[in-house]
Structure 1
Amino acid sequence: MWFDLVLVCLTLGIILYLWLTWHHDYWKKCGVRYLEPSLFFGNLKDVILLKNNIGVIYDKIYWSKPEEPAVGIFNLRQPQLVIRSFELMKQVLVKDFNSFHDNVFYVDKDDDPILGNSPFVTRGESWKTSRAIHTPAMTTVKLKVMVPLMKDVCKDMIDYVMKNLDKTLDGKYFCGQFTTDVVASCVYGVTSNSFKDPNAAFRQMSKKVFAPTLRTNLAFMLSLFAPSIAKIIFVPNDVSEFFKQLIKQTYEYRIKNGVTRNDFLQQLINENEKRDKPVYTDDEIVAFTMTFFFDGYETTSILIIYILYELALRKDIQTRLREEIQSSFKNLDDLEYDSLHNLPYLDAVISGEYQ
């Protein structure tokens, strides 16, 4: 009996091992240089075990074969290709893009109708549709009309700084206040008053969305490494409900009172109103606007705080940048979209920080 049990366990162990390692020679057969994967985890063991950031791991992978145009790796059992060659990147992103528009990061629309409709996680035709909605919002004409909205936020920010000159400000929090108000105004057409009210509802919702928790970390890991079993809502229910009500109230108010505004929500309203049947559902409108919220709030505030940090360290750069800006504008009212493009040193500072 014991022999039979050991034999069964040994057989099952061999089958499991063969199943886990079945694809480990995939890149070898393809003639692509690759990194040897570990059992169970592939090449992303430290990411899965939360020992390191996914960006750090991919950076190490990228530089592991500096002479190669691409590096083969494994996400668990799934082969993945990390592209290094600029020519290959152009081929994937431009020439043969129709074959490469799927997304490794996946959220089911039925599980999370808000994030599930975002172009960051949609695939195939759904991605094309959502991208076609967002791209026109970033044209020069659309950005130009949003500049006055941003300038209003800048005035609130200046007033806030002047009232707190004798205090130490938390840089990350301060930049988050700015991007929250800009996104609220340019996307939703509302004044969130983050600089005037630290407990403003919009500000609290933005903090809640990006607050790292065990639950959200687990949801991210599952959607990345095991999307078929990831049945987790990323956006908290109270946050999604807040934005649903915000969209509903703003939508109804504008239609009832004939109010129009130069923001992203207005573009979606216009598309729905000029057709007999609405083009976008309520969930889609919330998802599309929240995509700008995700993209504009956290990423932009992080970039700004890094720039401010570098300027604080490098007084020579700070002085030169200030001189360029002061020579171009007497005050905030003089600032326009086109004139911002005539500041080469500002562009260099921002581009350098991006890198």
Structure 2
Amino acid sequence: MWAAILSIAALFIWSIHKLRYFSSRGVRTFPPFPLFGNLTAVTFGQENFVDTIAAGYEAFSDQRYFGLYQYHVPTLIPRDPELLRQIMVRDFNSFTDRGVHIGTECDPLFGKNLFMLQGPKWREMRNALTPAFSGARMRCMAPLMDECARAATAHLKTTIKSITEIDTDELISACVNDVIASCAFGFGVNTHAQPQNAIYRLGQTAVIQHTTQIMKFSGYENFPSLMKLLGIKIIPSDAAEQFAVLFKSALEARRQRLVVRPDFIQTLVDAAQGTRFNINFRN
């Protein structure tokens, strides 16, 4: 029992020491809570991470920047437009990495996310993906988005005939899922009519909002070696395997020109054929 008490006390002392980073440097921040930093409300689902940042923008409106503790990770949030321009344009070569790194050796699927990649791998991936967001490409995807919007509108018109209250979060999530499935992977799904479709279920496993996922992310930020040792993944292995099967089938159809659509995966195939960029998907 005494060993447990001493361990907890030592953990709190260590946490308090880690949470003095900003105060020792004169950076304004909300008072952090031991172990959770400034994310206590976010961890327990009482507040969205975006709302936490927005509160900092309002509270420190007289500052060029302010501090935010993502658990024990000190994060500097710039507010001043000129400072943002300095970081994002002039000195971008010094700020290419996102700060949190979950490698493919820890999570094979989530680690290939553009936000997780670092250095040369990030540059290679970004150069390959950039053409997908050109004006011409986006205009080509507009009809796909319009189709999803029409499905959402039809569902809404049918639903309001029988109920008086509608969960707008559920409605918008379903519509966004359909847009991503269509524009990114070429899968025509209607989540409003089939709420348990595979794409929607897989997408829900990757959302960093509920407490379990948030704690996993916190573990990777603070104890990456331990998380790797325990084999804990952001996206469960079974979900990653299902996604791999879907992605490979869509990719192979594009490579063989069985399907040609103005979507995101077509951009990847075109980039791979024109460069050395490798999009072989391995789980």
1:282 aligns with 2:250: no
Provide the TM-score with structure 1 as the length reference: 0.62
Equivalent residue, structure 1, for 2:122 = 127
Name which of 220, 225, 234 aligns with 2:217.
220
Distance 1:171 1:129, change over 3 A: same
| Aligned mates of 2:181, 2:116 — CA distance in 1 | 23
Distance 1:47 1:214, change over 3 A: closer
Equivalent residue, structure 1, for 2:3 = none
1:37-94 CA-to-partner distances (Å, cap 9, x unmatched) read 7695595373697486444444444444443323356666665433232211111111
Q: What is the RMSD computed on CA atoms of the aligned residues?
A: 3.6
Name which of 226, 230, 236 aligns with 1:229.
226
Q: Any gaps of 5 or more consecutive residues in structure 2?
A: 1-5
Equivalent residue, structure 2, for 1:44 = 38
| Aligned mates of 1:212, 1:70 — CA distance in 2 | 25
Name the larger-Rg structure: 1
Q: How does 1:1-355 map to 2 (within 5 A)?
A: 21=17, 24=20, 28=24, 32-35=26-29, 41=35, 43-44=37-38, 46=40, 50=44, 53=47, 54-72=49-67, 79-168=74-163, 169-210=166-207, 213-231=210-228, 232-256=232-256, 258-274=258-274, 279-283=278-282
**Counterpart residue identity of residue 87, structure 1:** E
Q: SS in structure 1 opposite 2:76?
A: strand
1:245-303 CA-to-partner distances (Å, cap 9, x unmatched) read 1122222334445432111111212233456x7622214xx8xxxxxxxxxxxxxxxxx
Contact 1:36–1:43, Cα closer than 8 Å, also in 2: no
Q: Any gaps of 5 or more consecutive residues in structure 1?
A: 1-8, 287-355
Q: How far off is 1:141 after superposition?
A: 0.3
| Aligned mates of 1:22, 1:255 — CA distance in 2 | 50
Comparing 169-178 with 259-268, greater Cα deviation is found at 169-178
Distance 1:36 1:235, change over 3 A: closer
Give percent identity, aligned residues only. Answer: 22
| Aligned mates of 1:22, 1:175 — CA distance in 2 | 39
| Aligned mates of 1:48, 1:170 — CA distance in 2 | 21
| Aligned mates of 2:50, 2:173 — CA distance in 1 | 22
| Aligned mates of 1:52, 1:98 — CA distance in 2 | 36
**Counterpart residue identity of residue 235, structure 2:** V
Distance 1:220 1:78, change over 3 A: closer
Q: SS in structure 2 opposite 1:119?
A: coil
Q: SS in structure 1 opposite 2:86?
A: helix
**Counterpart residue identity of residue 282, structure 1:** F
Q: SS in structure 2 opposite 1:195?
A: coil
Distance 1:37 1:197, change over 3 A: closer
Q: SS in structure 2 opposite 1:282?
A: coil
1:217-257 CA-to-partner distances (Å, cap 9, x unmatched) read 22022223444433321112232222211122222334445
Provide the TM-score with structure 2 as the length reference: 0.76
| Aligned mates of 1:115, 1:75 — CA distance in 2 | 19
Higher helix proportion (structure 1 or 2): 1
| Aligned mates of 2:108, 2:52 — CA distance in 1 | 31
Contact 2:45–2:210, Cα closer than 8 Å, also in 1: no
| Aligned mates of 2:247, 2:171 — CA distance in 1 | 26
